[in-house]
Amino acid sequence: MTPLRPLYIYLLLWSLFALVLLCALRFGTAQMSAEALLHGDAGLLSGRGFRALCAMTVGAALAVSGLMLQSLTGNPLADPGITGINAGAALMAVATAQFVPSASAGVVMVSAIAGAGLAGLALWLLAGGDAGLGGEGIALRLPLAGLAIEALCLSLAMMLILTDAQSQARYLHWISGAIPPVSRGEAVPLLTICGALGAGIFLCNRLALLTLGADQSHSLGRNPRVTISLTLALVTVLSGASVAIVGPIAFLGLLVPFVARGLAGPVLRRAYGYCVPLGAAVLMASDVAGRVIVRPGEIDAGLILAMFGGVGLVAVLTRLLPRGAGVRT
């Protein structure tokens, strides 16, 4: 079988994205006819449109964030969820909102990014990362250190939310990954993500060089320390801004890059290009599914993803670890 040409894959993925976008605009908790949507007072662009915009942006951000983290660490399981980076961002966002009630959306986002950065730093130190070695050496310890950070940060964030009635109303859905139905000042994080996604394309070839080894990258004129710093900064900003909008979302950053890398082969920039429409489509689809299956109620997109993500993770694991692989050391 000849592999699909990249152009066809791009077309396929963007068509999928367009289809899901149409569904996201068409189907909601309330059933409406198409004409009512177009002319009615439901406010297509302010209601469902805004929600779809949030879902697609965050979906793309988390997918790219996972892809870059996996490339950097050489660990196909690394994603902003498992590594605790999202959880760190969530904890800082909740803490800021609770202790500084006057904080604007921008301030909450900056503190979420700071939280993501702190969690990433803790992860790097716990897993024993060495900038001179690139991502080598931390591949195995990474998920374990990440789980510890994730559990700690999420439980602390949950405690903060549950001790305060106002926080409960605002953040109980958010912590399980809900796409916001109405704008509460998400413009700043949305624009931040778009900027970071654009800048990330320039990082791809540099990061791909690092997979040849830190010294090899350096001898080809790309300092590995700079590559690592830029990649971690990108991951931190994307994850922090995403969490500020929809809360910590699991599995997307793991599964979408897995599929994208499978389609793209060794070309990181191509995988990046696939991650954007695919990640956007997956989170929008989860949101639509959550709105439709329990009408007139609603399930948060994060919960839907976690439900299907668990199954997906099992599939990834069976693919990554063929039977008997665990016996080898």
Partner 1 sequence: MMTNPLFDIENLSLRLGGRQIYDGFSGALPNGGLTGIVGPNGCGKSTLLRCLAGVQQPDSGRIVFQGYPLAGLAAVERAQFMAYLPQNPPLVPDMSVAGLVAKGRTPWRKAFRPLSGTDHDAIESALAATGLSDLRTTRLSALSGGQRQRVWLALALAQDTPVILLDEPTAFLDLQHQLSLLRLLRQLADEQGRSIVMVLHELTLAGRFCDHLLGLRDGRLVCAGPAEQAITPQTVAALYDLQADVANDPIFGKPVVFPRE
Residues that bind partner 1 (CB under 8 A): 136, 202, 205, 209, 211-216, 218-223, 265-266
- What is the rounded CA–CA span in Å between residue 244 and residue 106? 9
Provide, rounded to whole angstroms, the least separation between the CB of residue 78 and partner 1. 17
Provide, rounded to whole angstroms, the least separation between the CB of residue 267 and partner 1. 8
- State which residue, 158 or 267, has the beta carbon closest to partner 1: 267
Residues in the chain: 329
Q: H/E/C letters for each residue in 178-244?
A: CCCCCCCCCHHHHHHHHHHHHHHHHHHHHHHHHCCCHHHHHHCCCCHHHHHHHHHHHHHHHHHHHHH
Q: 224 vs 50, 121, 198, 215, 272, CA distance in Å?
A: 39, 17, 21, 8, 20
- State which residue, 31 or 215, has the beta carbon closest to partner 1: 215
Using an 8 Å Cβ cutoff, are 109 and 175 in contact?
Answer: no
- State which residue, 102 or 329, has the beta carbon closest to partner 1: 329
- State which residue, 29 or 216, has the beta carbon closest to partner 1: 216
Provide, rounded to whole angstroms, the least separation between the CB of residue 195 and partner 1. 18
Provide, rounded to whole angstroms, the least separation between the CB of residue 222 and partner 1. 7
Provide, rounded to whole angstroms, the least separation between the CB of residue 261 and partner 1. 9
- What is the rounded CA–CA span in Å between residue 267 and residue 272? 9
- State which residue, 191 or 215, has the beta carbon closest to partner 1: 215
